[in-house]
Structure 1
Amino acid sequence: MTFRFLAAAALAVAALPAIAVAQAPATAPTAADAKLKAIYDGYATWNGQQTGYFEDPEGESQPSDFLPRVDPASQLRRAEYLRDVLAQVKAIPAGQLSAEERDNAAILTTIVEAELANARFREWEMPVNSDSNFWTYLDTGTPLRDAEAYRRYIGRMRDIPRYFGEQVVNMREGLRRGLTPPAITLAGRDGSIESFTKAGEANAFYGAFKDMPSTITADEQARLRAEGLAAIKQAVVPAYQKLLVFYRGTYLPGARKTVSARDLPDGDAYYRSEIREYTTTDLTPEEIHKIGLGEVARLERAMQQTMRDAGFKGSLAEFLTFLKTDPQFIARTPDELLGVSSYVAKRVDGKLGDYFGLLPRRRFTIIPVPEALAPFYTAGRGGLESCQMNTYNLPVRQLYNIPALTLHECAPGHSFQAALSVEGKALPAFRRNLYFSGYGEGWGLYVEWLGNLMGIYRTPYEKFGQQSYEMWRAARLVIDTGIHRYGWSRAQAIDYLASHTALSQHEVETEVDRYISWPGQALAYKLGELTIRRLRSEAETALGPRFDQRKFHDLILALGAVPLPVLESRVRAYIAEARKA
């Protein structure tokens, strides 16, 4: 999917931090620095124009009154521009750049190379998978501040028919070439389209008009509500209805019946390109599969010990069955599940000062995953304004998993990161709201592990939930490469995940469908976490009693989203400087 680096965080997930405390050692700017700065500042302006975002006077990214153009001609023009940007960056000798600007050059190069790879494979012809798509999150998920923000929102609503029409043209070409997600992973996703076909005030797009700011006069509120309802009737509902007919009648029946990325056009090269994008490493599928097997074996031994600590006398398989089926682990109401998560978040609040030097001022709320997404969505998702917990089908949402999930999605995971991002303005514009999965998801998994040191897991069952979640991410390394490199079947992948984790069968199946339809993305979590834990171990060994985990964590968060090689070089530079001091 195109624009995923710079649009994804703004649309849905978590913007990653950009705070001032860990910039590279200051050096005098060079002529090469100035040349690079002109390139990436120009790129940031261009990208905002392309993706439909602009920077407000407070330096925050805001959506414009239009949606991106995604037709093939526009995509090819973007690729041509990006090739020129890459050539300009590579023409600057790295040795002439200051340390900070070398980082910026590496980050911009990583972004552009990934986008050019997407263009090479014409990935815009496959703008949907089992987890993500182009038609959700268009209804605003954050409060609108003023009348102008409402007018821009209405403008975007009016632009949906054009935007959907271009996407459908691309999807038809993908069907023709065999570039589609597997059909089995798309079943039921039409419900997320149908949910937006409701009329008038029942439509989710109207939600923003129900509680408008008091700074907007009553007369203006009435006019904006009328314009919003007209846009829903004339543009939103017809566009979603038309998309629903295409999805059900043409796209789903025509989608490919195989599950491996190897079966896509130039599939092996495409899969390796996806690995490079999501992990920002040069690891091969074979190397990742081997790492995964080693982590699965290590975690299985740890889970056996926790099972014994819980006093369970049977086998690990029997313990997994017990955890998945015993009523004591099931919330009776959505509020009970949300309450467990909320209490975990407040207990984390009491520990943050011992583990982080810089804390965000901004708060987040905990809400259910939206109804339109919940049946096939992940267990949770974290973002700036809210941390979402999935309360759909409560018997498959075991409570012992909630502490680890809350750490990952809320604090000190994604919502915590996103707040720091908004509050810090130190990074160049092109690095704000940027998302690298290896960094962001690696951090989320790392703080699940950190919960052990923070004392968040109070029972062997909650400890096992954390281990099961870590096993889940380790098993992904085996499953993702198993499917897309070694030709595993869907059933084989489901059996592997179900037999190694305490995830419910529903979660197992939705997760495997995600790996099938989104090659490479699932690899980022464990590989990123392994990198951060390895760097922490290096720092602890090198610095001994002088190691300060608060400074270590602040350093990582202050970098903002970076490729894993940049993270490694910066942490090792920090270690070297700390040893000198």
Structure 2
Amino acid sequence: MKRTMLSGSVLAACLAMSACSDTSTTAPKAGVEPTQSTANSAVSVRAEQAYLALADQYFNESLAQSPISATFVGLDEYNHLFGDELSDAWLKARHELNKGYLEQVKKIDRAQLSADMQLSYDMFIYNRELDLVSETFPSRFIPLNQFYSRIFTMAQLGSGGSAQPFNTVKDYRNWLERMDGFTAYLDRAIARMKEGMASKVVLPRTLVERMIPQIDAQLVEDPKESLFYSPIGQFPDSFSEAEKAELDKEYQTFIQEVLMPALSELREFLATDYLAASRGSDGMWGLPNGKLWYQHLANRNTTTQMPVDEIHELGLSEVARILKEMDEVRRKVKFEGDLNAFFEHLSSDPQFFFETPEQLVQGYTDLKDDINAVVANYFEVMPKADYEVRAVEAYREKSAAGASYNAPAVDGSRPGIFYINTYNLKAQPKWGMTTLSLHEAAPGHHFQIAIKQELTGVPQFQKFGGYTAFEEGWGLYAEYLGIEMGLFTDPYQYFGKLSDEMLRAMRLVVDTGLHAKGWSREQAIQYMLDNSAMAESDVTAEVERYMAIPGQALSYKVGQLKILELRARAEQALGDKFDLKKFHSQVLLTGSMPMAVLENKIDAWIASQK
């Protein structure tokens, strides 16, 4: 899929027009005297054109710096490149990009933009300023972890079932060239981690121990057994036998002579030097300037200025509230025993679990039909793209989350994917299925992300960028919406809704506990086991996830509570005039937003409806 790239001269011209106070360039109709209204309109049009040109030019340039992101948004020009991530030159270029565009956008008069474009303008400035602050923290010293890794990304792309195309001989050679860049990246990652060792900015020991077997799973003696050989088994029928043979040889040679040595070197470095230098502390408080760094990550992920202590207290209060509701379910189903015994019953009784991975995936596929039958009653706009249910791939299932969502291809060539982790069936109870599907698929992430990608008339960054608090807050709000949709008539399914909400509430406590209050991994695990029916394997993976990506887990509850607050505000202000479908459109049809920007938008909408 090709996208038009704006030239620098077009952008400069647009900026010059927006900054010019002479409005005579827009000629009035013959015989009509120019008016102040006409002049103001002309200024507004030029300001909007200038802003859209600038925002899209930034987007184009940022994709050129991050070619894998370009592939995921459907831009073909960079499919052969990996990018120079982590290099000094790349970091400097990223800084200059953010700094330069921040200066340029501030030359545009915000007051001359339409209401929607003002929201977009505010988001653009917010993003550039936040990125510049993020640069002051040494995240480059921790480029890999057991939860998020370019190794996983490349394995997914190389599987042939993700965004990387494998339709032509050129596509196959593009992938080999990109893989060559990937092996160079692994060298840069080792160099940055060595710098981190010297600066005492390293991963917790437990996470390093998790990474080593993940890499071991990629190491093979026979290239044909490598995940990165997968495209060879997916040749299009149009390829000649000679082309197939040549590509087969090239892939085997690259895997054996370039990729395996690079992965082996990384594995050896992690198992020896890095493991020995890893830290004993499980939270960011154990890093130099770690508490300040963590507060920044909390701000970035929640898109708020909430102090981490306040977030911790919010989590404790939410956990207490949800525990009371869970106990009400226990009494409703007439379970004999206390709440902890009820948790044990729900997490161990065979009636609550499938026997095979295939049954679990089919169960979610059937549930998709049930939700689709009622969801249109609550939305006036729904995504054009569909989604499908898949099991998490074997190479990452041991450390992957219980479920996740991948966006559909922008050109419609690939549906959204609702991944369900079938590694431990005891961690996937039947009573949790409705709420998990609502969150990850429809009307949760699938609606929000697919609708965002399908927007027109907005800058590209609004279609493809995002804010964790908005997106995860919407996913958790979608779980709440399931009550009104009539999907929780079974008390056990409603317990599943409470269980997932409890997970998000516990995250506020545990994430802040680990990173700001000195909690250990074991203390965090025990807290979650004491307050939920989650399987211990699932709890362990969750806690280690929070250790790996600090602050991300705070976004869910903070975002959901803000959306619910804004909905209640609109309902109270508008009374009978409140339209839930239109409220959902207001939330979804500008793309992902920081919480303050969303609040401004909803307040303006409320005022317009009175």
Common fold by TM > 0.5 = yes
Match of 1:137 in 2: 153
From 189, 205, 211, the counterpart of 2:234: 211
From 508, 513, 533, the counterpart of 2:544: 513
From 159, 167, 172, the counterpart of 1:146: 167
Work out the CA distance in 1 between the residues paired with 2:233 and 2:486: 41
Match of 1:242 in 2: 265
From 266, 271, 294, the counterpart of 2:294: 271
C-alpha spacing 1:87/1:348, structure 2 compared with 1 (3 Å): same
The answer to whether structure 1 residue 533 and structure 2 residue 533 are counterparts is no
- CA deviation map 1:377-425 (0-9, x unaligned): 2101111231111111222322211221121112222233333344334
Match of 1:546 in 2: 577
CA contact (8 A) 2:352 2:431 kept: yes
Work out the CA distance in 1 between the residues paired with 2:457 and 2:281: 46
The worse-fitting range, judged by mean Cα deviation, of 503-512 and 457-466 is 457-466
The answer to whether structure 1 residue 36 and structure 2 residue 57 are counterparts is no
Q: Which has the higher contact order (CA 8 A, sep 6+)?
A: 1
C-alpha spacing 1:525/1:59, structure 2 compared with 1 (3 Å): closer
How far the C-alpha of 1:29 sits from its partner, in A, is 2.8
Give the secondary structure class of the aligned counterpart of 2:556: helix
C-alpha spacing 1:46/1:458, structure 2 compared with 1 (3 Å): same
The answer to whether structure 1 residue 112 and structure 2 residue 128 are counterparts is yes
Work out the CA distance in 1 between the residues paired with 2:69 and 2:304: 31
C-alpha spacing 1:221/1:537, structure 2 compared with 1 (3 Å): farther
Give the secondary structure class of the aligned counterpart of 1:340: helix
- CA deviation map 1:452-498 (0-9, x unaligned): 22222342221111101101101111111222222222222112211
How far the C-alpha of 1:347 sits from its partner, in A, is 0.8
- CA deviation map 1:92-139 (0-9, x unaligned): 454344323322222122222332233211211111234212211113
Work out the CA distance in 1 between the residues paired with 2:367 and 2:247: 40
From 359, 379, 388, the counterpart of 2:382: 359
From 316, 321, 325, the counterpart of 2:344: 321
The worse-fitting range, judged by mean Cα deviation, of 520-529 and 284-293 is 284-293
Match of 1:186 in 2: 208
- CA deviation map 1:37-57 (0-9, x unaligned): 34322311210110015869x
Work out the CA distance in 2 between the residues paired with 1:229 and 1:361: 40
Work out the CA distance in 2 between the residues paired with 1:186 and 1:446: 35
Count of aligned pairs: 553
Give the TM-score, by structure 1 length: 0.89
Match of 1:414 in 2: 445
How far the C-alpha of 1:516 sits from its partner, in A, is 2.2
The worse-fitting range, judged by mean Cα deviation, of 46-55 and 276-285 is 46-55
Question: Aligned ranges for residues 372-383 of structure 1 at < 5 Å?
Answer: 372-383=395-406
* Matching residue's letter, 2:83: P
From 436, 450, 456, the counterpart of 2:487: 456
How far the C-alpha of 1:437 sits from its partner, in A, is 0.5
CA contact (8 A) 2:64 2:70 kept: no
Give the TM-score, by structure 2 length: 0.85
Match of 1:436 in 2: 467
C-alpha spacing 1:574/1:150, structure 2 compared with 1 (3 Å): farther
Match of 2:496 in 1: 465
How far the C-alpha of 1:338 sits from its partner, in A, is 1.1
Work out the CA distance in 2 between the residues paired with 1:522 and 1:180: 21
The worse-fitting range, judged by mean Cα deviation, of 28-37 and 420-429 is 28-37
CA contact (8 A) 1:27 1:99 kept: no
The answer to whether structure 1 residue 555 and structure 2 residue 576 are counterparts is no
How far the C-alpha of 1:554 sits from its partner, in A, is 2.4
C-alpha spacing 1:439/1:168, structure 2 compared with 1 (3 Å): same
CA contact (8 A) 2:73 2:464 kept: no
Work out the CA distance in 2 between the residues paired with 1:145 and 1:157: 14
C-alpha spacing 1:27/1:293, structure 2 compared with 1 (3 Å): farther
- CA deviation map 1:262-314 (0-9, x unaligned): 22121121011101111111111122112212211221221111111121132
Work out the CA distance in 2 between the residues paired with 1:560 and 1:571: 14
CA contact (8 A) 2:402 2:427 kept: no
C-alpha spacing 1:220/1:534, structure 2 compared with 1 (3 Å): farther
Match of 1:309 in 2: 332
Work out the CA distance in 1 between the residues paired with 2:247 and 2:479: 44
- CA deviation map 1:318-338 (0-9, x unaligned): 111111121111221111111
C-alpha spacing 1:323/1:526, structure 2 compared with 1 (3 Å): same
How far the C-alpha of 1:544 sits from its partner, in A, is 2.3
Work out the CA distance in 1 between the residues paired with 2:212 and 2:43: 55
The answer to whether structure 1 residue 83 and structure 2 residue 99 are counterparts is yes
Work out the CA distance in 2 between the residues paired with 1:547 and 1:223: 64
Give the secondary structure class of the aligned counterpart of 1:117: helix
The worse-fitting range, judged by mean Cα deviation, of 465-474 and 186-195 is 186-195
C-alpha spacing 1:359/1:208, structure 2 compared with 1 (3 Å): farther
CA contact (8 A) 2:44 2:112 kept: no
CA contact (8 A) 1:71 1:167 kept: no
The answer to whether structure 1 residue 491 and structure 2 residue 522 are counterparts is yes
C-alpha spacing 1:466/1:202, structure 2 compared with 1 (3 Å): same
Match of 1:60 in 2: 74
Work out the CA distance in 2 between the residues paired with 1:556 and 1:504: 34
Match of 1:4 in 2: none
Work out the CA distance in 2 between the residues paired with 1:350 and 1:408: 17
CA contact (8 A) 1:473 1:522 kept: yes
Give the secondary structure class of the aligned counterpart of 2:390: strand
* Matching residue's letter, 2:142: M
The answer to whether structure 1 residue 446 and structure 2 residue 460 are counterparts is no
CA contact (8 A) 2:438 2:478 kept: yes
The answer to whether structure 1 residue 296 and structure 2 residue 319 are counterparts is yes
CA contact (8 A) 1:189 1:376 kept: no
Work out the CA distance in 2 between the residues paired with 1:214 and 1:426: 39
Match of 1:12 in 2: none
Work out the CA distance in 2 between the residues paired with 1:464 and 1:170: 45
C-alpha spacing 1:506/1:213, structure 2 compared with 1 (3 Å): same
From 305, 314, 324, the counterpart of 1:282: 305
CA contact (8 A) 1:469 1:501 kept: no
* Matching residue's letter, 1:540: E
* Matching residue's letter, 1:29: S
Match of 2:532 in 1: 501
How far the C-alpha of 1:30 sits from its partner, in A, is 5.0
Work out the CA distance in 2 between the residues paired with 1:448 and 1:216: 47
Unmatched 5+ residue regions in structure 2? 1-40, 408-415
Match of 1:7 in 2: none
CA contact (8 A) 2:59 2:460 kept: yes
From 154, 170, 181, the counterpart of 1:159: 181
Two-structure CA RMSD over aligned residues (Å): 2.4
CA contact (8 A) 2:166 2:231 kept: no
Work out the CA distance in 2 between the residues paired with 1:417 and 1:224: 39
Give the secondary structure class of the aligned counterpart of 2:150: coil
Unmatched 5+ residue regions in structure 1? 1-25
Give the secondary structure class of the aligned counterpart of 1:374: coil
Work out the CA distance in 2 between the residues paired with 1:366 and 1:94: 43
Match of 1:400 in 2: 431
